[in-house]
Structure 1
Amino acid sequence: MNASGFDPVIHAPARLQACAILSSAEEVEFALLRDALEVSDSVLSKHLRQLDGAGYVKVRKATTGGRVRTWLALTPLGAKAFATHVKALQKLASAAITR
């Protein structure tokens, strides 16, 4: 994150959307997030690796009905970074609208 509050890890559109979805739930299943973002498994996995590498998401795997399912959640650090990024976007948008 830089001094302005913008976070380059979160700012990519798919990661921003993923964080928005994850911020509204305790956990989200990988398939639900993939479908909501309308991306492939590999594209979502790539974005999740970026978020995970920054410590912004936690991944939990569980076996249900003989299938391994992946569950995702924002970490406290991720929730704080997302909130700060959103505030920076709101400040930018507000400045642009008042001109």
Structure 2
Amino acid sequence: MTDPHPTVGLDDTVHQRSRLGILALLRSGVGIEFASIRNELHLTDGNLNRHLKVLEDAAFISSRRETGRGRPRTWVTITAAGQAALEQELAALRALIAAAE
């Protein structure tokens, strides 16, 4: 039996363009504010909210809402599971590139 094609290793939750971008932005482990993610990835509030919900349901991110002076802000942080999922995705992408070359 031959090894499976590298695309078999891609995770549908992570691989979607916006979610991959979110996890890549969060990779450093430092929390990033919602508006910064939205602006960096050129998403609407609603679209970003939907992708964050998918990632949070998968336990790949956590978020906290900060209220106080001024407007409430939401901070998003990658979890250990999210870090692992991103690393697996990057490994699968590297394997795919190697197979294509």
What TM-score, normalized by structure 1, do the two folds share? 0.89
Kindly provide the amino acid, as one letter, of the partner of residue 73 in structure 1: T
Alignment correspondent of 2:97: 93
Alignment correspondent of 2:74: 70
* Cα distance between partner residues in 2 of 1:5 and 1:74: 21
Flag as ranges the 4+ runs of structure 1 deviating above 4 A. Answer: none
| Structure ranking higher in strand proportion | 1
Structure of greater relative contact order (alpha carbons < 8 Å, 6+ residues apart): 2
* Cα distance between partner residues in 2 of 1:32 and 1:64: 19
Alignment correspondent of 2:61: 57
Report the count of equivalent residues.
95
Secondary structure at the aligned position of 1:67 is classed as coil
* Corresponding position: 1:43 with 2:68: no
Query: Share of identical aligned residues, percent?
Result: 36
Secondary structure at the aligned position of 2:9 is classed as coil
* Cα distance between partner residues in 2 of 1:41 and 1:6: 27
Coordinate RMSD, CA, aligned: 1.5
Deviations 1:16-65 (A, max 9, x none): 11110011341100000000000100000000010001000000111242
Alignment correspondent of 1:20: 24
Q: CA deviation at 1:77?
A: 0.4
The answer for unaligned runs of 5 or more in structure 2 is 1-7
Kindly provide the amino acid, as one letter, of the partner of residue 66 in structure 1: G
